[in-house]
Amino acid sequence: MSAAIELCGVEKRFGEIAIIRNINLSVAQGERHALIGPNGAGKSTTFNLISGYMAPSSGSVLMRGEKISGLPPYQINRRGLSRSFQVTNVFANMSVWENLRCAVLWSSGQRYAFWKNIDRLPEVRERTAQILEDINLTARRDVPAGLLTYAEQRALEIGITVAGGADVILLDEPTAGMSHAETERAVALIRRLTEGRTLLIVEHDMSVVFGLADRISVLVYGQIIASGTPEEIRGNPKVREAYLGEEAA
Amino acid sequence: MSEIASHVAPPLPAAADKFKFYGLWAGAAAALLLLPQIFTSGGSLTTFSLIGISIIFSLSYNILLGQTGMLSFGHAVYYGLGGFLAIHAINIITANKLPIPLPLVPLIGGLTGLFFAALLGWVSTKRSGTAFAMISLGVAELIASSALILRTFFGGEAGISANRTKLLRLFGWSFGPQIQIYYLVAAWTLIAVIAMYALTRTPLGRMCNAVRDNPERVQFVGYNPHTVRYLAFCFSGFFAGIAGALAAINFEIANSAYLGAVQSGTVLFATYIGGVGFFIGPIVGAIFVTFLSLGLSDLTPVWQLYFGLIFIAVVVFAPGGITGLLMMHRPLLKAGTLTQMLPSYLMALVPTLAMIVGLILSIETIVHYTVNPGDDSHIKAFGVSFDAASPTIWAMAAILLIGGFGVARKTWTWVGHAWDGATSVAREKGIAA
């Protein structure tokens, strides 16, 4: 079986500066894979390259063996890859319900329909309700997304990301800025919602990373210096030197 | 319906809500039907016809501005082309005795608007924001100037005229009398308003809002924001074309003014003043601005200046427009604290009006001295005669303007305090402000 996501010799340059230098990475189907590394290592850029937000300068990104690099984000999304954003990126003036419903519409085959009443689409209603309950925002259903608390917005962000039923999920620092208790809840949520799907996650909180991931890749200065199980990464001297330091010892 | 949707999803409209909803449309239809019985004069029928046309045009504009977040400076292009094609269609139908009655001509206008929006919109809707606004302006200038160059189609300065009464008759209606035109406009207004409302309740309509809020994120839920904007643009062009055709039928002429920047500006103005955030906003704006433009031009020669001042005031103090201003009071009404606001409103009204009177006096005096200084200084504005050369008037204007502003500022603070009090009570009662 071909890998869910495979990066082959991916490079991204902005002018003279190479942000991503020759990344090779393979994420198997159903795997929870964490991407860690110091600030400015290129983790978010890697996400942007995979999700189609940017095109790589060279190399290619494959999804289940098919090349997706160069496609626009919405086409990559339609093939079953969905991502969240590090900075909350929701539809601020629309209610929580509407946010989630927008994320459900395409995958329930509504496309650009202008002849159907949105309230008469039972499948859309049901899937939206399911996600709403999954992210525990039922009580906040009719509140505009812009008025939610930070933790609620992060939960909505994850909800929008998984609502379309994509089987490859990319989460960019989903617990950043959360308190300890909020982080625990968020991790439980992520674990539950990505059950049976492929997850690629960027995260700074090492307890989250080591608790959640099946495999970990370490990105430093635009290159992957190590890739392996949590134990292998923990024991890798190169990683300890470059990144983990005493923190994870 | 499954377990989860029934207790988590927002309740579907109950029978009573549906009854209320359809009752609203039926009520609107009845009102349109009865209006000419109450206001029988030819002048008011013309006014109502103009309002209907303006409602369709403004709502079509709000598909872009309010629903999809696209600021167009050239929406009159689709209105105007719809109007020209309608006039040509009437002439062709009459000349060839085609079996097409006048009530179908607005559809030709609409299809024209749709065709040109589909043709010109693909490039301009690639981006929203400044790029879209600039391209819309460029296209508008291009079409408006072609109107003066391509004389055979646009008729140059004079425009193209037609006789609307010589088409196939339905039920013996010639569409000569204004009352018949009124009913034609009213019927199309009702149809177009219902259609445009229905559009907001479709998957495309909801995605338009999503594109307005966050076009970037839309791409990551499977939608191409360009396609959403393009489709919205096409719908907007279609309804603008219907409005233009109705205007052409109403006046029996189409000329280059239909396509021009003033027409594009007026629709922006009406839509924004009414309020872009609510479906009903452009309707309110269309009614308000039509009355204002018909009324103000009789009262003062510089009515456009007042138009501009009103627009600035709305942009600065009430960005939600008239509808937004009214809707702000809804939580207070529900909480029963609206009456708390009345004393402060009344108190603010007096000095604010004094300030406005002072402003009007100053403007009219200055206009007299800058525009026609040689004329008699006894001028009449807003139905009141006064001597623009009299120092008493100048002093009065200054006192009203400056004094009024000084006092009004204080009362506005009171309004603010009263507002905070009233909304916090509403919030305590669990009604979101």
Q: What is the pLDDT of residues A46-88, one digit of tens each?
A: 999 999 999 999 999 999 999 999 999 999 999 999 999 999 9
**Over 70: is that where the pLDDT of A189 sits?**
yes
ipTM: 0.94
Confidence class for position B99, pLDDT limits 50, 70, 90: very high
pLDDT over threshold 60, residue A247: no
Where do the structural domains in chain A lie, given as residue ranges? 5-248
Q: What is the mean pLDDT of residues B12-36?
A: 92
**CA dist., res. B202 & res. B223, Å (int):** 15
pTM: 0.94
Instruction: Determine the residue of chain B that is closest to A145 in CA distance.
Output: B213
Residue B258 has a pLDDT of 94
Q: CB-based burial of residue A179 (10 Å sphere; 0-12 exposed, 13-18 middle, 19+ buried)?
A: exposed
Measured CA to CA in angstroms, residue B395 lies from B263, B386, B389, B401, B408 at distances of: 39, 13, 11, 10, 19
- Say yes or no to pLDDT of B6 above 80: no
CA dihedral B173, B179, B184, B190 (to 10 degrees): -140
pLDDT of B432: 61
Each residue's pLDDT tens digit, A112-157: 999 999 999 999 999 999 999 999 999 999 999 999 999 999 999 9
- Best A77, A99, A102, A141 member to test B by mutation, with max B CBs in 10 Å, is A102
Q: Is residue B232 within 8 Å of residue B73, measured between CB atoms?
A: no
Closest-approach residue (CA) in chain B for A80: B222
Give the mean pLDDT of B387-411: 92
Q: Is the pLDDT of residue B43 over 80?
A: yes
Note whether B5 contacts A122, CB cutoff 8 Å: yes
What are the tokens at A119? 């309230």
Q: CB-CB: which of A74, A98, A114 is closest to B219?
A: A74
Q: If you average pLDDT over residues A90-101, what whole number do you get?
A: 96
| Shortest distance, CA B49 to any CA of chain A (angstroms) | 29
Please, which pLDDT band fits residue A32 given cuts at 50, 70 and 90? very high
pLDDT value of residue A1: 65
Mean pLDDT of B86-96: 97
For residue A168, give the H/E element and its range: strand A168-172
From chain B, the residues in CB contact with A77 under 8 A are: 219-222
Nearest residue in B to A91, CA atom? B213
When pLDDT is averaged across residues B43-61 and rounded to a whole number, the result is: 97
pLDDT at residue number B433? 47
Mean pLDDT taken over chain B:
93
User: Which of B22, B220, B227, B239 would you mutate first to test chain A, the one with the most A CBs within 10 A?
Assistant: B220
Q: Which of B202, B223, B227 sits opposite A116 (nearest CB)?
A: B202
How far B205 CA lies from chain A's nearest CA (Å)? 7
Whole-angstrom Cα Rg for chain A: 18
A249 pLDDT above the threshold of 60: no
Identify the H or E element spanning B355: helix B338-371
B8, B22, B197, B278: best to mutate for the A interface, most A CBs within 10 A: B8
One DSSP character per residue, B272-337 reads HHH-TTSTTHHHHHHHHHHHHHHHHHHH-TTHHHHHHHHHHHHHHH-TTHHHHHHHTTHHHHHHT-
Sign of CA dihedral B319, B322, B128, B130: negative
The beta-carbon neighbor of A115 closest among B202, B210, B220 is: B202
Spatial neighbors of B228 by CB under 8 A, at least 6 apart, are A112, B68, B204, B207, B208, B210, B211, B218
CA of A105: which chain B residue's CA is closest? B203
Residues in chain B with CB shorter than 8 Å from the CB of A111 are: 203
Residues on chain B touching A83 (C-beta within 8 angstroms): 220
The pLDDT, as a whole number, for residue B2 is 63
Q: Rounded to a whole number, what is the distance in Å from the CA of B102 to chain A's nearest CA?
A: 27
Find the closest chain B residue to A147 by CA distance.
B432
Asked whether residue A31 carries a pLDDT value surpassing 60, the answer given is yes
Contacts of A90 in chain B (CB under 8 A): 214, 217
Which chain B residues touch A163 with a CB distance below 8 Å?
Answer: 221
Q: Per mean pLDDT, which range of A236-240, B89-93, B106-110, B202-206 is the poorest?
A: A236-240
**Cβ distance B239 to B110 under 8 Å?**
yes
| Type of residue found at A134 | D
Q: How far is A206 from chain B (nearest CA, A)?
A: 27
Best B22, B196, B217 member to test A by mutation, with max A CBs in 10 Å, is: B217
pLDDT surpassing 50 at residue B35: yes
Question: DSSP H helical segments within B39-98, as ranges?
Answer: 42-62, 76-96
- Alpha-carbon distance of B198 to B82, in angstroms, equals 22
Distance (Å, rounded) from C-alpha B138 to C-alpha B181? 34
Residue in chain A closest to B227 (alpha carbons) equals A112
Q: Distance (Å, rounded) from C-alpha B407 to C-alpha A140? A: 43
Q: Which residue of B has its CA nearest to A103?
A: B221
Q: Of B207, B216, B222, which has the smallest distance from its Cβ to A89's Cβ? A: B216
B387 or A51, greater pLDDT: A51
Characterize B416-429 residue by residue with b for buried, 16 or more Cβ atoms within 10 angstroms of its Cβ, and e for exposed. eebbeebbebbeee
Chain B residues contacting A, CB < 8 Å?
1-2, 4-5, 8-10, 12-13, 198-199, 201-207, 209-210, 212-214, 216-224, 227-228, 231, 235, 432
Strand partners for B375: none
Query: What is the chain B residue with the closest CA to A170?
Result: B220
Comparing alpha-carbon positions, the chain B residue that sits nearest to A142 is B10
Chain B closest-CA separation from residue A17 CA (Å)? 25
- Which chain A positions have a beta carbon within 8 Å of B224's beta carbon? 72, 74
| Contact list, B2 vs chain A (CB under 8 Å) | 126
CATH number of A5-248: 3.40.50.300
Asked if B205 and A77 come within 8 Å (Cβ–Cβ), the reply is no
Q: Decide: B249 and B107 in contact? Cβ < 8 Å.
A: no
Cβ burial of A18 (10 Å; 0-12, 13-18, 19+) is middle
- Residue A248's pLDDT band, with cuts at 50, 70 and 90, is very low
- The whole-number average pLDDT for the span B137-166 is 93
Tell me if A50 sits within 8 A of A170, measured CB to CB: yes
**Which of B1, B213, B216 lies nearest to residue A122, judging by beta carbons?**
B1
